[in-house]
A and B are shown apart, each in its own frame.
Chain A
């Protein structure tokens, strides 16, 4: 009996690992806002998204994988002229690099909640390590779809110069803060 219970537990654990829950990114609730200081005075913000991709979560095993794609030309600051400037070769270089990617396999958990995700951001064809820390994380049941939705708010920081997007420095800061809203709907 003990052996059976033991085997069952082992099998269940094995199954949980074998089949993590897959969440498809919800395009209505998944955006990246960037923040960068302008002349040491005020914060310029812009939006990327909706994000596209999926997340696999195995909360029992404390593991996850995220794979996101970001269409760089869709940058939206609320100023079309500024958006056009951002798309040029010395900033986002959207013609040569229409997509940015974030891929991460290193998840930190506190119980069932994701607290941090460490991976790699590829922007302008350059890949750099990026850590996104959760400001909040939660799951709820989508009232219309009757499916589990998990997501949260994450923040991270990068130096745009590390990706070669250095125009306007130092009047516009090198340091860029990312605020990521993300929700995934369980498949």
Chain B
């Protein structure tokens, strides 16, 4: 019996770090908001509303992988003509490139909290590295769905020209775009 318990403990101990747990992105608590300066005066913001993705996450082994894609036709700024311009060839060119994808496969931890996710963003058919920095990270038991949920707030600032999005640079529209990312994922 002791032996069996020991074996079981060993197996669990080995299996859990090796496989971690699978999480599915909760679309109701996962959004990306971009921020870009407007004539040095105020900040324009827009939000990407349609997304799906998965996370594998292993707190014991301090590893993880996230794959999330955004349907770029669902951009929302609150200004309909601007949404249309952003979807056009000057910016996201959604007819040719309907989605953007982030794959993060290096999770940096401080204790059991994720502090950074390093990965690649594919946008307009080009792939370039991006590091997301966490300003919040936590796991909790959601009382409604009775499952563990992990998530947080991440941000990064990227240069849109790296993905070939250069419209307006010669007119003073900034290259730097800050992303504010809310993410929660539900344990499967």
Residues of A within 8 A of B (CB): 27-29, 31, 33, 37-45, 47, 49-50, 76, 78-79, 81-82, 136-140, 149-153, 171, 181-183
Question: B29 near A: Cβ within 8 Å?
Answer: yes
Question: B79 near A: Cβ within 8 Å?
Answer: yes
CA distance A45 to B79 in the complex (A): 17
Cβ-neighbour of A42 out of B33, B45, B153 (below 8 A): B153
Contact call A33/B42, Cβ cutoff below 8 A: no
CA distance A149 to B79 in the complex (A): 18
How many residue pairs link A and B with beta carbons under 8 A? The number is 97
CA distance A10 to B136 in the complex (A): 55
Contact call B152/A29, Cβ cutoff below 8 A: no
Contact call B43/A181, Cβ cutoff below 8 A: yes
Closest 4 CB pairs of A and B: A41-B138, A78-B49, A138-B41, A140-B39
B contact patch SS: strand
Report, as a range, how many residues of chain B touch the other chain: 20 to 34
Contact call B42/A136, Cβ cutoff below 8 A: yes
B28 to chain A minimum Cβ distance, whole angstroms, is 5
Question: B92 near A: Cβ within 8 Å?
Answer: no
CA distance A151 to B44 in the complex (A): 12
Contact call B47/A183, Cβ cutoff below 8 A: no
Contact call B42/A152, Cβ cutoff below 8 A: yes
CB<8 Å pairs between A and B, sample of 15: A28-B82, A39-B149, A41-B137, A41-B152, A42-B29, A42-B152, A42-B183, A45-B180, A47-B78, A79-B49, A136-B42, A136-B43, A140-B39, A153-B42, A181-B44
Interface string of B4-46 (1 = CB under 8 A from A): 0000000000000000000000001101010000111111110
Cβ-neighbour of B184 out of A41, A47, A79, A150 (below 8 A): A41
Contact call A45/B78, Cβ cutoff below 8 A: no
- In chain B, what residue has the closest Cβ to A27? B79
Cβ-neighbour of A183 out of B33, B38, B137 (below 8 A): B38
Contact call B184/A38, Cβ cutoff below 8 A: yes
- In chain B, what residue has the closest Cβ to A74? B78
CA distance A138 to B42 in the complex (A): 8
A contact patch SS: strand
Cβ-neighbour of B76 out of A28, A76, A138 (below 8 A): A76
Contact call A45/B182, Cβ cutoff below 8 A: yes
Contact call A41/B140, Cβ cutoff below 8 A: yes
A169 to chain B minimum Cβ distance, whole angstroms, is 14
Which residues of chain A come closer than 8 Å to B152, judged between CB atoms?
41-42
Contact call A149/B149, Cβ cutoff below 8 A: no
B83 to chain A minimum Cβ distance, whole angstroms, is 12
Question: B119 near A: Cβ within 8 Å?
Answer: no
- In chain B, what residue has the closest Cβ to A135? B43
B50 to chain A minimum Cβ distance, whole angstroms, is 9
Contact call A31/B31, Cβ cutoff below 8 A: no
B55 to chain A minimum Cβ distance, whole angstroms, is 13
